[in-house]
């Protein structure tokens, strides 16, 4: 089965065709914003990092920014630097060049201030946009699609309706040879051994359990015992009996396929099928990590409703809560509440979701895109200096 | 075809159902379970979002929801009985514990 996508020079496939402006440091963020301002098809990353991060964090910031620049949903890239930052615009540019796409970098201190840089930047991105508009979509097999899964603003409908329905859609994509990313490690705690049993090899199971242990110890050092604090008294009153039950409700959204690989934050999967990315549960940091790793469409389940979106990847909102769907129609894409009325099976809702993300991959705008909801936040472990 | 609007069974391997509204002791509910529509009489009041047993279970048996064990029974549980923290214990990390 196919969708309509953009074939890139490096062989990868985009579901969108953006010109992306990346500030390599927070100090050039406003200039990057003004360069993209009002130009349809041009977006920028509201990045506040790039200077003052140490050790692993410095690596993570560069990796994430480069991941967005290399992303197949991006046609061309303009990097905007200040000139004295740790992460130089040129360094980000060089890492993106191997994709073959046009990548330029400009530096505010060299050009001489904001106004001149904005003027030059706008000239460059307008040229890029003109070239982008010449490219047409073409039929692409679904096995080249990498789907991200996420949940946020959950309520009782998430574990009973939207997550099982999205899980059914994910199983359908995997049977088409596609890739599904599951993430948010802190939410695995309590059911990690059940997911580990689905690992293709003992090594993959070990990597998953190690990722969980890392988060658990990190939280413990900060005074939070995730395993003891869950399920919360409110969860128990609502009918959730054990931590396994709570965590399984979350994991179920990625379906029931074997686990093929465990990858670090913002990394590109090397396997097809179900792949685990080690990310925080923080909605925007998780979304940013998955998109930096090449996810072209995200399925996002919510009970209470959320407007969250990505600068370069469409995010499809699915809710099992009818009231939320009606009340937050601006933000919700798919209503699966009929599952809870016994009028639709999760498997048939899954088919609808499958068709929806195929349309979205082929260009249909999501509610988050219509609202220009472009959230971006890079995960880091330590303080800035 | 008649639909079961009062309760939901997530996975075909599950041995518990979750209620979609509060149900009273003695109520008879229809549940799709093991490929057929079964009638189960509730032995306890079951608040919304809580679980009841689809079959009789021995002490120490795995409680299955989402097709996976969510814990172990700490007493015999009869078909139609409330399944919750009073008769289920978590098995964190599975056999590692």
Torsion of CA A137, A141, A142, A143, to 10 degrees: -130
The CATH number that domain B7-96 falls under is 2.30.130.110
Would you state the structure tokens that stand for residue B23, as one six-digit string? 């149900």
Q: What Cα–Cα distance (Å) separates residue A285 from each residue in A60, A66, A121, A245, A248?
A: 12, 16, 28, 25, 22
Closest among B3, B15, B11, B86 to A242, alpha carbons compared: B86
Q: Who among A243, A256, A342 is closest to B4 (CB)?
A: A342
> If DSSP codes are grouped into helix, strand and coil, which group holds residue A318?
strand
3-state secondary structure chain B: CCCCCCEECCCCCCCEEEECCCECCCCEEEEEECCEEEEEECCCCECCCCEEECCCECCCCEEEECCEEEEEECCCECCCCEECCCCEECCCCHHHC
Are B70 and A256 in contact (CB < 8 Å)? no
Domain ranges of chain A: 18-132, 140-370
Residues of chain A found within 8 Å of residue B84, distances taken between Cβ atoms: 236, 239, 241
> If DSSP codes are grouped into helix, strand and coil, which group holds residue A84?
coil
DSSP state of A24: S
* Beta-carbon count within 10 A of A310 CB: 31
Q: Is A191 on the interface with B (CB under 8 A)?
A: yes
**Which helix (H) or strand (E) element contains residue A2?**
strand A2-7
Check residue B34 and give its pLDDT.
81
Residues of chain A found within 8 Å of residue B19, distances taken between Cβ atoms: 239
DSSP state of A385: -
Convert A114-127 to b/e letters by CB count within 10 Å (16 or more is b).
Answer: eeebbebbbebbee
Would you state the structure tokens that stand for residue A77, as one six-digit string? 């890239």
**For residue A233, what is the nearest residue in chain B, using CA coordinates?**
B85
Cis bond before residue A189 (omega within 30° of 0): no
Helices (H) and strands (E) in chain A, counts: 16, 14
End-to-end CA distance of chain A: 50
**CATH number of the domain at A18-132, out of 3.40.50, 1.10.3470, 1.10.10, 2.60.40?**
3.40.50
Which single residue is written with the structure tokens 């009062």? Answer: B6
Q: What is the pLDDT along chain A (385 residues), one digit of tens a residue?
A: 999 999 999 999 999 999 999 999 999 999 999 999 999 999 999 999 999 999 999 999 999 999 999 999 999 999 999 999 999 999 999 999 999 999 999 999 999 999 999 999 999 999 999 999 999 999 999 999 999 999 999 999 999 999 999 999 999 999 999 999 999 999 999 999 999 999 999 999 999 999 999 999 999 999 999 888 889 998 999 999 999 999 999 999 999 999 999 999 999 999 999 999 999 999 999 999 999 999 999 999 999 999 999 999 999 999 999 999 999 999 999 999 999 998 999 999 999 999 999 999 999 999 999 999 999 999 999 999 9
- The interface predicted TM-score of the complex, written ipTM, equals 0.94
> If DSSP codes are grouped into helix, strand and coil, which group holds residue A335?
strand
**For residue B50, what is the nearest residue in chain A, using CA coordinates?**
A239
**For residue B17, what is the nearest residue in chain A, using CA coordinates?**
A160
Residues of chain B found within 8 Å of residue A208, distances taken between Cβ atoms: none
Residues of chain A found within 8 Å of residue B3, distances taken between Cβ atoms: 342-343
């Amino acid at each position: 089965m196919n969708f309509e996508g953009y074939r890139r020079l490096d062989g990868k496939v985009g579901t969108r065709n953006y010109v992306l402006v990346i500030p390599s440091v927070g100090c050039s963020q406003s200039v990057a914003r003004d360069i993209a301002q009002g130009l349809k098809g041009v977006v920028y990353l509201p990045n506040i990092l790039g200077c003052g991060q140490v050790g692993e964090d410095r690596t993570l910031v560069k990796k994430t920014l480069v991941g967005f620049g290399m992303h197949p949903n991006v046609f061309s890239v303009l990097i905007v630097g200040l000139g004295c930052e740790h992460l130089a615009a040129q360094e980000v540019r060089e890492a993106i060049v191997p994709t073959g796409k046009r990548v330029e970098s400009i530096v505010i201190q060299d050009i001489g201030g904001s106004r001149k840089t904005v003027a030059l930047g706008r000239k460059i991105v307008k040229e890029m946009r003109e070239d982008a508009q010449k490219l047409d979509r073409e039929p692409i097999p679904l096995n080249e699609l990498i789907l991200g899964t996420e949940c946020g603003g959950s309520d009782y409908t998430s574990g009973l309706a939207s997550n099982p329905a999205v899980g059914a859609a994910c199983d359908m994509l995997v049977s088409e040879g596609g890739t599904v990313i599951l993430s948010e490690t802190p939410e695995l705690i309590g059911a990690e051994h059940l997911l580990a049993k689905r690992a293709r090899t003992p090594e993959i199971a070990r990597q998953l359990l190690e990722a969980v242990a890392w988060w658990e110890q990190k939280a413990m050092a900060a005074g939070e015992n995730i395993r003891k604090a869950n399920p919360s008294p409110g969860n128990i009153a609502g009918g959730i009996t054990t931590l396994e039950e709570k965590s399984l409700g979350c994991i179920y959204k990625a379906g029931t396929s074997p686990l093929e690989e465990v990858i670090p934050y913002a990394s590109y999967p090397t396997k097809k099928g179900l792949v685990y990315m080690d990310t925080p549960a923080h909605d925007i940091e998780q979304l940013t990590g998955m998109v930096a790793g090449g996810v072209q469409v995200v399925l996002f389940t919510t009970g209470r409703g959320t407007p969250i979106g990505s600068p370069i990847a469409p995010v499809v909102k699915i809710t099992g809560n009818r009231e939320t769907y009606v009340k937050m129609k601006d933000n919700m894409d798919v209503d699966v509440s009929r599952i809870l009325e016994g009028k639709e099976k999760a498997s048939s809702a899954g088919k609808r979701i499958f068709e929806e993300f195929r349309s979205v991959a082929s260009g249909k705008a999501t509610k988050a895109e219509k609202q220009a909801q472009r959230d971006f936040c890079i995960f880091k472990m330590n303080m800035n200096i | 075809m008649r639909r079961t609007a009062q309760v939901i069974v997530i996975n075909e391997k599950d041995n518990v159902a979750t209620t979609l509204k509060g149900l009273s002791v003695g109520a008879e509910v229809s549940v799709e379970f093991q490929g057929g529509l079964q009638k189960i009489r509730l032995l306890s009041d079951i608040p919304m979002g809580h679980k009841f047993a689809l079959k009789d279970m021995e002490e120490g048996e795995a409680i299955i929801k989402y097709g996976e064990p969510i814990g172990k029974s700490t007493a015999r549980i009869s078909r139609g009985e409330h399944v919750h923290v009073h008769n289920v214990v978590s098995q964190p990390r599975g056999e590692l514990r």
